[in-house]
Chain A
Amino acid sequence: MSSKLSQKMGLGAGGMIGGRVALKLDPQALRRLTTGRRVALVTGTNGKTTSTMMLSRAVTALGEVATNHSGANMPDGHVTALSKQPDAPYAVLEVDEGYFPAVAAAAQPDVVVLLNLSRDQLDRVGEVRTIERSLRDTIARLRGCTVIANCDDIMVTSAAKDAHRVVWVATGTGWHHDSASCPRCGEPIRWQGEHWQCSTCDLARPKPDWVTTDGFLIAPNASKVALSLRLPGKFNQANAVMATAAAAALGVQIEEAVRRLRGVSNVAGRYRMIQRSGHTARLLLSKNPAGWSETLTVVKESDHPAVLVINANEADGRDLSWLWDVPFERLRGRTVIASGERATDLAVRLTYAEVEHKIVPDPLLAIDALPEGAVEVIANYTAFRDLNARSASE
């Protein structure tokens, strides 16, 4: 009944209202619904939804998996996902960083996947260091848990270091702009190639158990496996290796895990292709400087025109200062349209990046304004959500 109501109200797949009601009825719902299952939690700033989908695909090798595919990554979303599949012996849950302490305490996970930590919408969410500290304290208290952690991310390394057991993954991806000073002692971090260490305390890049190389993973047993992903970019390779390491920790054989997760091609509308007015547009979601930076690397593989869509609603963060942390200079020489409710802010950034551009605030009209053919559309959170909904209905 409430699920139907939620669908009528346009609240997505009916997930949230169902979950909220269940939580109200039973504050122990999350604990009860995870008891007796093997649970993996996936958290971090970027890549949660993709990694969760990859890991849940891989774990199906062992049995049925309950998972929150829709990106509903707060406790009511978890309760809904778990309630829908009461008999699934495995649960793979994407968890918002802010809710991680509460969810981990209730779910007592077997595996935690800690992807990366970087600045998100600063006027809305806690600062990176506050989040690192709360993850660190929570992880240190988990019993019998294996943490899969990205050792190329200083914040993640600090958060994971005190875990019962850590599997370190060299992903080759990390955002260093928030970690000039050590999260443990505040002194400068020194870099030497890929290795980093604190100038004062013992925090340093651990020796990785798994390594991501271009298109391959190298497992702890030294076997090299081709990833051959359908999703583009280095950060998706990182997500895939993290997911494989997590699946292995749950008992999935490595080649089997990779074979299953490589089929992921469309994650909650991301990377979806839309056909419109003679254009084939690829939809890419980027929410913060680290995400944009990675996505600009992906679009660099072609010279297709790009539509960049920026909103600044509550869910995006009202403050667009972060546009200046994104290396838009990489788009020089390409046909670019600045779009979205805050197209003008972006246009100023592009002007100073010396990227020629036009302003077309409506993203669908922006696509139409381009010569027919392939288009890359990169949008931030609410811009992406609205575009996805409109392009599906038109």
Chain B
Amino acid sequence: MSDSTVRIALVLPDLLGTYGDFGNAVVLDKRLAWRGISSEIISVNFGEAVPDSCDIYVVGGGEDTAQTLAVRHLRDNPGLQRAAARGAVVLGVCAGIQIFGEKFTRADDVTHPGLGLIDSVSYAGGSRAIGEVLAKPANGLFEGFLTGFENHQGRTELGPAAQPLAHVTVGTGNDGKVEGAVQGKILCTYLHGPVLPRNPQIADLLIEWATGVKLSPLDLPAVTRLRAERSKAAGQRADA
């Protein structure tokens, strides 16, 4: 970090904020603040330059048109890529995993180049994956389980340089088996929108990557209760 304030870039919330992605930036911001670490959220809107000096970048999901515009904007304003190259932390949610890969192919069979930050290719799956997801950590990356909601048609194949984030217990994720991707300090997931509110251990992992500080746990009873409720609901999806 260049100074003591952690700068969180919320990237193109006006294009890639279809599913409450703002929530991820808020969770990072508050979990820093509650531990006495100062932080700020910087919204980078469509048409504006992307700064390369932030510590954490949060990129959300969007519909196809918005996603195409976002990739174009991020290629024309490569601040995020410069930051990632020097080791900044990046969270890519839903469309993020497609945008960050080498390329993605839509249902119309048109292939678009990605940003090349993750060793992966994405393509359109046969059916839309919608519903509660439950997954177990891959490679001991985090504690407990991953919970979230997915709503995507894309499927993703990881290359050797990328690791999966988790193994799917309920739901689809990348391909029905693994979920998300981790490469360096870039973390992607198909769990859309507010994934960090449900998975505080992932939020803290990103913060630890950004600050190098080992964090003490935060006790938020509502979050504990929500995780229990949602993992139960995911179990019911599996039974159905």
Residues 342 to 386 of chain A near chain B (Cβ within 8 Å): 344-345, 347-354, 359
A-binding residues in B (CB < 8 A) = 12-15, 17-23, 26-27, 30, 45-47, 63, 65-66, 69, 130-131, 149, 151, 192-194, 197-198, 220, 222-223, 225-226, 229
Q: Which residues of B contact A199 (CB under 8 A)?
A: 47
Residue in B closest to A130 when the chains form the complex, CB atoms? B63
Among A13-21, A23-31, A121-129, the stretch that binds chain B is: A121-129
CA distance A318 to B13 in the complex (A): 22
Contact A181 B66 (CB under 8 A): yes
Contact B17 A321 (CB under 8 A): no
Contact A180 B14 (CB under 8 A): yes
Contact B223 A348 (CB under 8 A): yes
Contact with B along A106-124 (1 / 0, CB 8 A): 0000000000000100110
Q: Which residues of A contact B197 (CB under 8 A)?
A: 324, 348-349, 352
Partner of A180 from B22, B23, B46, B226 at Cβ < 8 Å: B46
Contact B65 A122 (CB under 8 A): no
Q: Which residues of B contact A353 (CB under 8 A)?
A: 26
CA distance A190 to B19 in the complex (A): 23
- Count of residues in A whose CB is under 8 Å from the partner chain: 33
Residue contacts A-B, CB under 8 angstroms, 26 given: A123-B130, A123-B151, A186-B65, A188-B46, A190-B47, A319-B19, A319-B149, A319-B151, A320-B149, A321-B194, A322-B19, A322-B20, A324-B23, A324-B26, A344-B222, A344-B226, A348-B197, A348-B198, A348-B223, A348-B226, A349-B197, A350-B222, A351-B222, A352-B197, A353-B26, A354-B30
Contact with B along A178-205 (1 / 0, CB 8 A): 1011000010101000000001000000
Q: Which residues of A contact B12 (CB under 8 A)?
A: 180
Contact B69 A181 (CB under 8 A): yes
Residue in B closest to A178 when the chains form the complex, CB atoms? B18
Q: Which residues of B contact A188 (CB under 8 A)?
A: 46-47
Partner of A352 from B23, B63, B130 at Cβ < 8 Å: B23
Contact A127 B63, CB 8 Å, known A349-B197, A351-B223 = yes
Q: Which residues of B contact A119 (CB under 8 A)?
A: 18
Q: Which residues of B contact A166 (CB under 8 A)?
A: none
> Which residue, of A318, A320, A348, A359, has the highest number of chain B Cβ atoms within 10 A?
A348
* A323 interface residue (CB < 8 Å to B): yes
* A303 interface residue (CB < 8 Å to B): no
CA distance A199 to B73 in the complex (A): 15
Contact B192 A321 (CB under 8 A): yes
Q: Which residues of B contact A344 (CB under 8 A)?
A: 222, 225-226, 229
Residues 124 to 173 of chain A near chain B (Cβ within 8 Å): 127, 129
Q: Which residues of A contact B198 (CB under 8 A)?
A: 348
Contact A324 B193, CB 8 Å, known A181-B66, A345-B226, A351-B223 = yes
* A177 interface residue (CB < 8 Å to B): yes
CA distance A348 to B193 in the complex (A): 14
CA distance A129 to B194 in the complex (A): 23
Residue in B closest to A183 when the chains form the complex, CB atoms? B65
Least Cβ–Cβ distance between A193 and chain B, in angstroms: 17
Contact B220 A129 (CB under 8 A): no
Q: Which residues of B contact A214 (CB under 8 A)?
A: none
CA distance A359 to B221 in the complex (A): 11
* A325 interface residue (CB < 8 Å to B): yes
CA distance A180 to B83 in the complex (A): 25
Least Cβ–Cβ distance between A132 and chain B, in angstroms: 12
Least Cβ–Cβ distance between B131 and chain A, in angstroms: 7
CA distance A119 to B30 in the complex (A): 27
CA distance A50 to B46 in the complex (A): 34
Q: Which residues of A contact B26 (CB under 8 A)?
A: 324, 352-353
Least Cβ–Cβ distance between B110 and chain A, in angstroms: 15
